Amino acid sequence: MKARFIITGIVFAVGAIIEAPRSDACTNILVTKGASADGSVMITYACDGEFHPRLRWTPAADYEPGEMLPIRHWDGKTYGEIKQVGHTYKVMYLINEHQLAISETTFSGREELINPDGILHYWDLMRLALQRAKTAREAIRVMADLVAEYGYRSEGESISIADTEEAWILEIIGPGPGGKGAEWVAIRVPDGMISAHANKARIGEFPLNDPDNCLYSENVISFAIEKGYYNPETDGPFRFCDVYCPPTPRNQRYASTRVWSIFRRAAPSLNFTPDHHRGAEGAEPYPLWIKPDRKLSVGDLMALMRDHYEGTGMDMTAGVDAGDYGTPNRWRPINWFVDGVEYVWERPVSTQQTGFSFVSQSRSWLPNEIGGVLWYGVDDTYTTCYIPLYVAIDDLPKSYTVGGLDRFTWDSAWWTFNFVANFANIRYADMIQDIQAVQRDLEGNLLALQPAVERTALQLHQSDRELMTRYLTDYCVYHGELAVQRWRQLGEHLICKYNDGYVQDENHSPQEIGYSEGWLRRVIADRPDQFRLPEKDEAVPESKLVD
C-alpha cells in the first residue's frame, strides 16, 4: 500500500516512516467524558516550533505476511525495519477511524537516557499506534511492545491518548545508549477530571496493583535504583516525574506555569497560586488532574488554548516588554543575559511559534465516522481559526496541504494565518480586535452548525455511507477554504486600515492615533529632555541634547 502524509513536520511515505524537523515545545489538555459538556472525550495539541505543517491523511491498508516497514530519517538514512501488521487503520492526521486520538509534549528529562541505538522516535510510536490500535489501552500496549522489541530513540515524552471512553497519559523515557526498551508509566485520568501537561513530566506516585487504571514497564523503578536516580530507603515514595524529570527553576517556570494557567481558568474555585511555578520553597506541585468548575465544551478548550496569562501577574500583554500596543509575543531566544545575569521571558500556551494545534472529539454515541473529529488550526492558537475535520472525510482543503518555510504564498493556509498574526504585532491591541471578530464569526458558525451537520450525516450513515462521506468531505473542505479566504481578506483589510502608523476610520480616512499616555510617560522617564519642546525664549543646555 503506497500512501503519503505529513504531520508535525514528519513525513510518512511509500510504506516507510521518515523523520523530519520537529519541536520540543508543546501543550496538551485532556478532558474526560464526565468533565465535558456533551460527553466527548477530548484532548488538545499545540505543536510548537518553526516548521510549516502540511495536513495529510492515509487510508486503511492491507499487507502481506512478512512485510517489513522501514524507519527512515528525513534525509533518507534508514534506522532499521519493523514488522508490518496485516491491516492498518485509516488515520486522519492524529485521529484514526476508531476515534483514537493522540498528542504529545516533550519533557526531555535526563538526556543521558537518549538511546541513539533505538529505532523508534515518539512520533513513530504515535503514528504506529494510530494505525494499529482501536482504544487508548491498545495504543499503550502497541507502543510498549514496539519499544521493547525495537528500542526507543527520543527524549522523554508525555503522550495524551483518548478514545470514546477514556483519556490516558503515557510518560516514557529511554534506557540510554545501548539499552533495551524504555521506562514508562501510563495512567488513566479519572472520569469527571481534566489534566494538562506542557514539556515537563507530570505523573508522580502511581499504583502498582491497579491495571484498570495504571500500566507501567516492569523495570521503571528498578532501573532508576540501578542508575542512582532513586533510593527507596531515603527518597520516599517513587515519583516518576521527579526521578526521570527532576524539577528545576527553569522547567518549573517554562512548563508548570502553563499547567497552572489552564487549571486556574478551568477551576477558579481551587485558587491555585503561582508559588510552585515561581519556585517558592516548599510549594506543592500542581495535581495531575482536577475537577473543572463546570463541564467544558469544544469552544471552552479553544479558549483555554488561547492564553498569555491575561489578568495575572504574568500577563504578557502588559508591561514595558509588551510595548505600547500590548503584544504578547516575545522573540527567541527565550532566555537572555544582561550584565552576566540570566533572565527568561514567560512561556505562554499561545505562542507565535505554534505550527498547528487541534481539539479532538471522540464520542461513543455516534458512529466512528461522525463521532471522531479534529478541530484543526494552523499557526498561533490566539489568531487561528479552528475548522472541523471528520474521521469520515477522504479529501482535504488544499491550502492546508501545500507550502513550505522557504517561500511565502497566499495559497498556503499556514502562511495566510502567519501573515495576519505577524502583521498584528505592529499594533496588536487594536488589530487583535479585528482578528477576533472574524474568528468569533467563523468558529461560532461552525460550532452552531455542528449538531445539524451531524444529524444529516447520521441519516446518511443509515442509508448511504458513500454519500455521507461525500457530504462531510465537502463540508470540511468548503469551510476550511472559506476560513483561509476570510483570513486573506482580513490580512488585506489590516494592511489598509493600519497603514503607515495611521488608523483608518469607518470612512477610510487615516487618523493620527499615536501612542498611549502611559507609554509616552515611559519615553519621557527614559530620556526626559530629548523630546521636550522648549517654551518660548527657553534655552536648552547643549549637554542635554542627544546626538
Angle of helix 428-463 relative to helix 465-497, nearest 10 degrees, comes to 170
Mean pLDDT of the residues in the chain: 93
Domain assignment of residue 151, yes or no? yes
pLDDT score for 5: 32
- pLDDT tens digit sequence for 316-353: 999 999 999 999 999 999 999 999 999 999 999 999 99
Domain assignment of residue 372, yes or no? no
pLDDT score for 544: 52
399 and 303 together in one domain:
no
Cell 466527548 -> residue: 40
Q: Using 50, 70 and 90 to split pLDDT, how confident is the model at 543? A: low
413 and 303 together in one domain:
no
292 and 419 together in one domain:
no
284 and 400 together in one domain:
no
Instruction: Tell me if the pTM is above 0.75.
Output: yes
- pLDDT tens digit sequence for 268-299: 999 999 999 999 999 999 999 999 999 999 99
54 and 180 together in one domain:
yes
Domain assignment of residue 339, yes or no? no
**C-alpha grid cell, residue 175:** 534506557
Domain assignment of residue 327, yes or no? no
Domain assignment of residue 496, yes or no? yes
Q: How far is CA 451 from the centre of its chain?
A: 26
Residue positions counted in the chain: 547
10 and 125 together in one domain:
yes
303 and 396 together in one domain:
no
Residue 283 is classified by DSSP as P
19 and 150 together in one domain:
yes
In the chain, the number of structural domains is 2
Domain range for 467: 392-504
Helix (H, G, I), strand (E, B) or coil at 497: helix
13 and 156 together in one domain:
yes
Domain assignment of residue 509, yes or no? no
301 and 204 together in one domain:
yes
Domain assignment of residue 497, yes or no? yes
Least reliable range by pLDDT among 31-35, 47-51, 286-290, 400-404: 47-51
Cβ neighbours of residue 258 closer than 8 Å, sequence gap 6 or more? 27, 196, 198, 307, 347, 348, 349
Angle of helix 465-497 relative to helix 413-423, nearest 10 degrees, comes to 30
Q: How far is CA 490 from the centre of its chain?
A: 24
30 and 151 together in one domain:
yes
Cell 500596543 -> residue: 325
Domain assignment of residue 341, yes or no? no
287 and 409 together in one domain:
no
Whole-angstrom distance, CA of residue 525 vs CA of residue 166: 57
